[in-house]
Structure 1
Amino acid sequence: MVAIDPEPLLAAGRLAHEQLMNDACTITRVGPPTLTRGTSVLTPGASTTLYSGACRVKPQRIPRNEQASERLTVVARYEVALPFSSVATDDLQVGDTVTITASGDTRLVGQKFAVMAVDFGSHSTAWRLTVEGAT
């Protein structure tokens, strides 16, 4: 049996996938808060930008309704795909924030999503994040 080198196929798939990434996003992480002991004031940590660039956003699952007291919140889950060639995506984590900065769907611009999962795969054509946002 002849072994097939998957790299040329993966390179072609990654290039094709990047051509579909017509949205843009910024991914940030908030650092740990600091406590001023004399005043007991908790100051939020600084925000660090982990990635800024092309992405593709698509719905992943049917939105679910969550009831809190008298307030109804709709939680929607999406997949955000990032170029496989982006080097800063190695350390993305659950809890990071994805903000959509440009999109063909103008309703997405400015939306913030929480990273719920960082997906892995041996033959990936993009970095994939599972994110959630409340409306």
Structure 2
Amino acid sequence: MNIDSVLAAGRRAAEQRMRDRIRLYEQGPDVFNREDGTTVPGETTTLYEGKARIEPVAQASGEDAQAGEREVRLLEYRVSVPWATELPTGQRARPGLRVEVLTSPDPRMAGLTLWVTGTTYADQATAWRLTTEDRS
């Protein structure tokens, strides 16, 4: 058995564990409406929508941070998507992109928004992994 067949089997097994459905997207800058004084969220651009596996980073204890006038706890999650996933031409995953959990076997996960903080690329990986944090 050669390395390519072992990797193919590992990638198939990794995909079988991807039971969540996500949307990876980019949020444009907010727009201020001078007429009524409101701020409207910027347009979103979807880069990927499909299956994923979301898991908390076991060793992460979370970090308290200030956001506006409230304190938030930053919890880390690893989001795995199929290894062969490609983003639109010229796009790379980068910090600041967002992951919205569309569906999950754990109903408490649906609607969760995670912020991408990093990504891992590797030719011998079984999945493409994004490091994210929950800023709620």
TM norm structure 2: 0.80
1 CA distance for matches of 2:105 and 2:55?
12
Structure 1 or 2, whichever has the larger Rg, is: 1
Alignment deviations for residues 22-76 of structure 1 (CA, whole Å, 9 cap, x no partner): 001001112467899xxxxx97642110000100000012222225687331110
Q: How does 1:1-135 map to 2 (within 5 A)?
A: 5-31=2-28, 45-60=42-57, 61-67=60-66, 71-88=70-87, 91-135=92-136
1 CA distance for matches of 2:72 and 2:128?
29
The percent identity for this pair of structures is 33
Residue aligned with 2:10, SS: helix
Amino acid at match of 1:110: G
Cα distance change, pair 34–15 in 1 and its aligned pair in 2 (3 A):
same
Amino acid at match of 2:55: K
2 CA distance for matches of 1:92 and 1:54?
16
Matched length: 128
Aligned to 2:36: none
Cα distance change, pair 105–34 in 1 and its aligned pair in 2 (3 A):
closer
Aligned to 1:39: none
Cα distance change, pair 28–69 in 1 and its aligned pair in 2 (3 A):
closer
**Structure 2: gaps of 5 or more residues:** 34-38
2 CA distance for matches of 1:69 and 1:97?
19
Please provide the CA RMSD for this pair.
2.8
TM norm structure 1: 0.80
1 CA distance for matches of 2:31 and 2:105?
39
